Amino acid sequence: MQRALQNQQVAVVGLGLTGHSCVRFLLAQGAKVTAFDSRSDLNLTLPESVEVNLGPFDGALLSATSLIILSPGVPLSEPAIQRALAAGVEVIGDVELFARFNHRPVLAVTGSNGKSTVTQLVTAMLEHSGIRAVSGGNIGTPALDLLERDYEVAVLELSSFQLETLSSLSMLAATVLNLSPDHLDRYTDMEAYRQAKLRIYRHAGLLVVNRDDPQTLPDADTDNTQPQISFGLGESTRDIGYQSATGMIRYQNEDLLEFSTCQLVGQHNLLNIQAAAALAFAGGATSQGVVAAARAFTGLPHRCEKVREHKGVVWINDSKGTNIGATEAAIAGLRPMVQGQLLLIAGGDGKGADFSLLQHALKSVDKLICLGKDAEKIAVLKPGALRVASMQAAVAAAASLAGDGDMVLLSPACASLDMFDNYQHRGHVFTDAVEALA
Give tens-digit pLDDT for 165-177: 999 999 999 999 9
Output the average pLDDT for the chain: 94
- Which 3 state secondary structure label does DSSP give 398? helix
All structural domains of the chain, each given as residue ranges with its CATH number in brackets, are 9-92 (3.40.50.720), 98-296 (3.40.1190.10), 305-435 (3.90.190.20)
DSSP letter, residue 217: S
Whether residue 212 has pLDDT greater than 70:
yes
Residue 1 confidence class, pLDDT cut points 50, 70, 90: very low
3-state secondary structure 235-304: CCCCCEEEECCCCEEEECCEEEEEHHHCCCCCHHHHHHHHHHHHHHHHCCCCHHHHHHHHHHCCCCCCCC
Spatial separation of the C-alpha atoms in residues 157 and 114, rounded to whole Å: 10
In the chain, the largest separation of any two C-alpha atoms, in whole Å, equals 67
Instruction: Name the residue type at position 108.
Output: A
- Which 3 state secondary structure label does DSSP give 314? strand
Q: What is the pLDDT of residue 140?
A: 87
Query: Contact, 18 vs 25, CB < 8 A?
Result: no
Q: Work out the average pLDDT over 28-36.
A: 97
Among residues 58, 54, 19, 51, which one has the least CA distance to residue 40?
Answer: 54
The residues annotated as belonging to the active site are 115, 138, 183
Residue 8 confidence class, pLDDT cut points 50, 70, 90: very high
**Alpha-carbon dihedral angle through residues 243, 248, 252, 256, given to the nearest 10 degrees:** 180
Give tens-digit pLDDT for 38-63: 998 888 889 999 999 999 999 999 99
Query: Contact, 175 vs 276, CB < 8 A?
Result: no
Beta-strand (E) ranges in 326-390? Answer: 342-346, 367-370, 386-387
Helix 115-128 and helix 287-296: axis angle, to 10°? 130
Beta-strand (E) ranges in 180-237? Answer: 207-210, 228-231
State phi, psi for 62 to the nearest 5 degrees: -65, -35
User: What proportion of the chain, given as a percentage, has pLDDT over 90?
Assistant: 87
Give tens-digit pLDDT for 111-123: 999 999 999 999 9
Query: Contact, 93 vs 10, CB < 8 A?
Result: no
Q: Work out the average pLDDT over 203-222.
A: 92
Query: Contact, 342 vs 316, CB < 8 A?
Result: no
Among residues 74, 76, 77, 146, which one has the least CA distance to residue 108?
Answer: 146
Q: Work out the average pLDDT over 396-400.
A: 97
Spatial separation of the C-alpha atoms in residues 123 and 264, rounded to whole Å: 16
At a CB cut-off of 8 Å and minimum separation 6, what does 230 contact? 208, 209, 210, 211, 236, 239, 240
Helix 423-435 and helix 391-401: axis angle, to 10°? 40
Spatial separation of the C-alpha atoms in residues 51 and 44, rounded to whole Å: 11
State phi, psi for 429 to the nearest 5 degrees: -65, -40
Give the sign of the dihedral formed by CA 193, CA 194, CA 197, CA 199. Answer: negative
Q: Could you tell me which residue, 380 or 140, shows the higher pLDDT? A: 380
Query: Contact, 401 vs 346, CB < 8 A?
Result: no
Give tens-digit pLDDT for 319-369: 999 999 889 989 988 998 899 999 999 999 998 989 999 999 999 999 999
Q: Of 90-94, 112-116, 388-392, 405-409, which gets the smallest average pLDDT?
A: 112-116
Q: What is the pLDDT of residue 402?
A: 97
Q: Is beta strand 305-310 parallel, antiparallel or unpaired with respect to 254-258? A: unpaired
Q: Where are the alpha helices (DSSP H) in 153-228?
A: 160-164, 190-198
Helix (H) or strand (E) holding 232: none
Strand partners, 243: 248
Give tens-digit pLDDT for 219-253: 987 656 899 999 999 999 999 999 999 999 999 99
Spatial separation of the C-alpha atoms in residues 402 and 343, rounded to whole Å: 8
Q: What is the pLDDT of residue 283?
A: 98
Whether residue 185 has pLDDT greater than 50:
yes
